[in-house]
Amino acid sequence: MAGTEISVPPEQFTKSKEPELITEKALEEEEEGVCRARAHPSSEELEAESTHGALQAKIPGGELELLLAIREEGEKHILTLQTVHLTSEDAELQDLAPQRQEEVQAGSGLQSWVWRGDGSQQSPHPCVTISIQEEVYLLQEVEVMQLHVLEEKVTGASEGSRCAVSLAESCGSIKLMKGQEEEQLLAEGGSSEETEGQFSLLEVRPGDEGRVEIVLTISPLNIEKPALGQAHAEEANATESQKKTKEVKRTFHCDICTFTSSRISSLNRHMKTHTNEKPYTCHLCLKAFRTVTILRNHINTHTGTRPYKCDDCDMAFVTSGERARHRRYKHTHEKPFKCSMCAYASVEASKLKRHIRSHTGERPFQCHLCSYAGKDAYKVKRHMRTHSEATSKRARQEIP
> Shortest Cβ distance from residue 350 to DNA (Å)?
4
Complex with DNA: residue 25 or 351, whichever CB lies closer: 351
d(CA 319, CA 317): 6
Dihedral class, residue 394 (left if φ above 0, else alpha if ψ from -120 to 50, else beta): alpha
Tell me which residue of 199, 235, 203 sits closest to 220, measured CA to CA: 199
> Shortest Cβ distance from residue 222 to DNA (Å)?
16
> Shortest Cβ distance from residue 333 to DNA (Å)?
8
Complex with DNA: residue 91 or 313, whichever CB lies closer: 313
Complex with DNA: residue 133 or 308, whichever CB lies closer: 308
Complex with DNA: residue 17 or 116, whichever CB lies closer: 17
CA dihedral 45, 200, 63, 88 (to 10 degrees): 120
Tell me which residue of 88, 198, 90 sits closest to 147, measured CA to CA: 198
Complex with DNA: residue 210 or 250, whichever CB lies closer: 250
Complex with DNA: residue 134 or 362, whichever CB lies closer: 362
Complex with DNA: residue 11 or 389, whichever CB lies closer: 389
Complex with DNA: residue 242 or 365, whichever CB lies closer: 365
Q: How many residues does the chain have?
A: 400
CA distances from 122 to 19, 118, 200 (A): 32, 11, 15
Complex with DNA: residue 2 or 284, whichever CB lies closer: 284
> Shortest Cβ distance from residue 174 to DNA (Å)?
20
> Shortest Cβ distance from residue 198 to DNA (Å)?
18
Q: Which amino acid is at 294?
A: I
52 contact partners, CB below 8 Å, separation of at least 6: none
70 contact partners, CB below 8 Å, separation of at least 6: 77, 126, 151, 154, 157, 160, 161, 162, 163, 218
Q: Where are the alpha helices (DSSP H) in the chain?
A: 26-31, 43-51, 240-245, 264-271, 292-303, 320-327, 349-360, 377-398
> Shortest Cβ distance from residue 161 to DNA (Å)?
29
> Shortest Cβ distance from residue 304 to DNA (Å)?
8
Residue pair 169/192 in contact (Cβ under 8 Å)? The answer is: no
> Shortest Cβ distance from residue 373 to DNA (Å)?
8
Complex with DNA: residue 2 or 48, whichever CB lies closer: 48
> Shortest Cβ distance from residue 50 to DNA (Å)?
15
Identify the DSSP state of 313: S
> Shortest Cβ distance from residue 89 to DNA (Å)?
40
**Helix, strand, coil: what percent of the chain each, to 5?**
25, 25, 50
CA distances from 313 to 3, 135, 238, 325 (A): 56, 67, 51, 14
| Cα angle for residues 156, 157, 163 (degrees, 5° grid) | 130
Residue 92: strand, helix, or coil: helix
- Residues lying near DNA in the complex (CB under 7 A) are found at 259, 261-266, 268-270, 272-273, 287, 289-294, 297-298, 301, 308, 315, 317-322, 324-326, 329-330, 344, 346-351, 353-355, 357-358, 372, 374-379, 381-383, 385-386, 389-390
